Amino acid sequence: MWKKYWNTFLSRFAYHNRFIRPPNSPNLFAIETTSVCNLACVMCPYPIMERPKEFMDEALFKKIVDQWSHSSYLVRLHNLGEPLLDKRIASLINYAASRGVRAEISTNCTALTETRGREILGSRLFQIILSLDGASKTTYEHIRKRAEFDRVVANIHAFLKIKEEINSPVRVVLQIILMNETVSEVDNFIRQWHSYRDKGIVNELRIKRFSTWANQVQKISQLADNKLRYYPQQESQRVPCRYLWESVVVLQDGRVVPCCFDYEGKLALGDLNKQTLQEIWQGEPLRQLRQSHLEGKFDNELCRSCSEYPRSTFQMFYPFNRAGARSLWTWIQILLGKKQIIENIPVDVTPP
């Protein structure tokens, strides 16, 4: 575990000191075990995604985990697909856990049957995110095309009761995405589910910020016109994306991309069918991407349109700033055993 702590420190150090060849390995990564989904949500690019909708080869999955288990403390077993449609998901979770990597999945809950729920809660899963975008049937079914609100709500209630029954240690996050259709329902969402939070069955009720997927989807971009923002778009304040120093996403076919917004693999950095992790992490495509960010050049198709980038210039004056002070205090708490390193994982993009 100390190697992973050290790797996390190195990633922060490399970012703030502008290394294009960081000494660390990725400390957070996502593996798309499947690119298959059963819904057509209005805020998701899945319906227009052109690459094949398939399942990852299990041998490739194990190869990826084996290469990264020494440095990474969390793997997200989801990207564009619905992980519960993969019948192997529990065994994949357990394989990652056997290599010392905590696994997380995010689900739309349509396939969260009692059998699958018991299987997941009986696995070595670290965290599951239950996505419920709406507190009413009308709103939910308008957003989550092909899903049935009543069925999904029933699935979630049954799942939470099973967790309570078997006293499962799996962390549960119940999430709603904040956009113009759901803003008026946030209060109802909290009222409907807070009892599970009060009893500790749900660990977090999360209000997630809406994403435009780097403005790649016309419908999503139109929705974004009226969405709530944490901060204004100000290009002059933009700083390099720290995820280039911390994490990557592996698509179902083994290609590695910088982040989940690259759902078509347009900025593929390498292929784990042919290369190793370190070859890709230290490879020329990713080094060039880091260098362009350090030079203030965000002109590739994805980065140019990204709506999630950090905008605080003080980030680049680490450690002699507020970010440095916060990092120091976080590490002191970790060393004293008062905080787990998992809490530092950027589950959602938050304002700096």
For every residue of 308-319, DSSP letters joined together read: -----GGGGGTT
pLDDT digits (tens, 9 = 90+) for 53-87: 999 999 999 999 999 888 888 999 999 999 999 99
More confident residue, 231 or 170: 170
More confident residue, 280 or 12: 280
Q: Quick check: helix, strand or coil at residue 222?
A: helix
**Residues 266, 168: Cα–Cα separation, whole Å:** 40
Give the confidence band of 94 by pLDDT, cuts at 50, 70, 90: very high
Q: Which amino acid is at 212?
A: T
**Residues 45, 217: Cα–Cα separation, whole Å:** 6
pLDDT of residue 349: 31
pLDDT of residue 304: 86
> ∠ CA(4), CA(6), CA(10), 5° rounding?
115
Q: What is the DSSP string of 38-96?
A: S---TT-SGGG--S---B--HHHHHHHHHHHTTT-SEEE--SSS-GGG-TTHHHHHHHH
pLDDT digits (tens, 9 = 90+) for 180-215: 778 889 899 999 999 999 999 999 999 887 654 445
223: closest CA among 155, 133, 122? 133
pLDDT at 36 over 80: yes
Which two tokens mark 154? 């029933």
